[in-house]
Amino acid sequence: MAAVNIWKRLLVFLLTLKSIPEYNCNFKMSFIKVDDESDFSFHNLPYGVFSTADNPRHRIGVAIGDQVLDVSAIKYLFDGPALSKHQDVFDQPTLNAFMSLGYEAWKEARRYLQKLLSANESILRDDVSLRSRAFVHQKSVVMHLPAEIGDYTDFYSSRDHATNVGIMFRGKENALMPNWLRLPVGYHGRASSVVVSGTPLRRPMGQMRPDPTKPPVFGPTKQLDIELEMAFFVGAGNRLGEAIPIERAHEHIFGMVLMNDWSARDIQSWEYVPLGPFLGKNFGTTISPWVVPMDALLPFVEPNAVQDPEPLPYLRHQDDYTFNINLFVSLKGEAMKEAATICKSNFKYMYWTMKQQLAHHTVNGCNVRPGDLMASGTISGPEPDSFGSMLELSWRGSKSIDLGGGESRTFLKDGDEVTITGYCQGLGYRVGFGPCRGTILPALQQ
């Protein structure tokens, strides 16, 4: 009897899924072969910007399996009401113009791409000439920043991370500042030094004060760190002086990427009072090249964190907008044969949601623009192996992070390669982001 009830529930579950438009496409296999563990399943279809050796022009692509669909080659096929007069956005070197078209255009594009790539649609499947022009193997492409990033904001929205850092520097009784549970704390980062995955970064120089009884010293940072983060791209913006209400914030969130917001802790700790991070942060931020649309992530939505005290009315929303995204950080030193995983975390640990971040960012009338980047802040969970920075993993350098094979770290060494990966796990498929990778180069001595 118990087995019968389980099968009945499963049947009801499958029928329910099939009635949801976003899930309906999952029952149609694509004519492009996709491995079960590929980040780029038929249910994902992320956007990116790529070039090839034989065609260096930057163009928009969509990833599926080990292929990239060159959207500029099929732009004339987008004939729906939102896109028929704006096909030129798919012939641009960045995603900004497409982002600016807004929510309905993004949904229309996704629906059509799902149809075009499904196994029962012949337009692309059976046109050998068009397929040869439209598809490129991922091994043959060079990825670029997906958008021209006008502004970059970094939030501080993980309660576990904020608590850990607060304990280190202020003690357990004053771990969280009085404003932290009242608003999404953030600061403005440096957009010019946001780079795409695979770009090496040089160890920064700066002022430090390792001995508080002596004057500061100048030199390369000795406490170079990672920060496991995610970020969203703003789609359609708002006018100066007008806020984005939280009820409509999702209409302005285009999609998400992985992020490593590299940090020089010793430079940061000396400079950050009273105005916040500066040289300790602005030397480099790495993002993954593929932007995963929010519609691809919605099947993995989780209940929002319980927020006590209740936020002010402009920050309240009842709909869930937290996502179950598995996140991993690995580190490979120059002498290591294999990378070691140093962190396993999840985006669902965030306290403040992206809707709250965007509503707060604009409540004073600040205008955001297509391609602006909004980062989560370091994502740490409740357990030590889910801490999203080496500052936490080594507890401010007081203990070593074991990498195996006799290797250990407290902070990064020159030549270290750090890779962040992440994915949502579906039933026999994944919605992933591809790698977010960077390698540390030695400082330039002055």
Residue 443, Cβ density class (10 Å: 0-12 exposed, 13-18 middle, ≥19 buried): middle
Does the annotation mark 250 as catalytic?
Answer: no
Question: Please, are residues 187 and 425 in contact by the beta-carbon 8 Å criterion?
Answer: no
For the chain, counts of helices (H) and of strands (E): 11, 27
Question: Please, are residues 117 and 42 in contact by the beta-carbon 8 Å criterion?
Answer: yes
Residue 71, Cβ density class (10 Å: 0-12 exposed, 13-18 middle, ≥19 buried): buried
Going by C-beta distance under 8 Å and a sequence separation of 6 or more, which residues neighbour residue 197?
Answer: 143, 286, 287, 288, 289, 434, 435, 436, 437, 438
Strands 373-375 and 152-155: parallel
Q: Could you give the dihedral angle defined by the CA atoms of residues 318, 322, 324 and 327, in that order, rounded to the nearest 10 degrees?
A: -170
Question: Please, are residues 143 and 198 in contact by the beta-carbon 8 Å criterion?
Answer: yes
Active-site position among 161, 317, 360, 361 = 161
In angstroms, the first-to-last Cα distance of the chain is 77
Question: Please, are residues 26 and 118 in contact by the beta-carbon 8 Å criterion?
Answer: no
Within 13 Å of residue 146, how many CA atoms lie on the same side as its CB? Answer: 33
Question: Please, are residues 380 and 387 in contact by the beta-carbon 8 Å criterion?
Answer: yes
| Of the candidates 358, 247, 298, the residue with the CA atom closest to the CA atom of residue 107 | 298
Annotated catalytic residues are 161
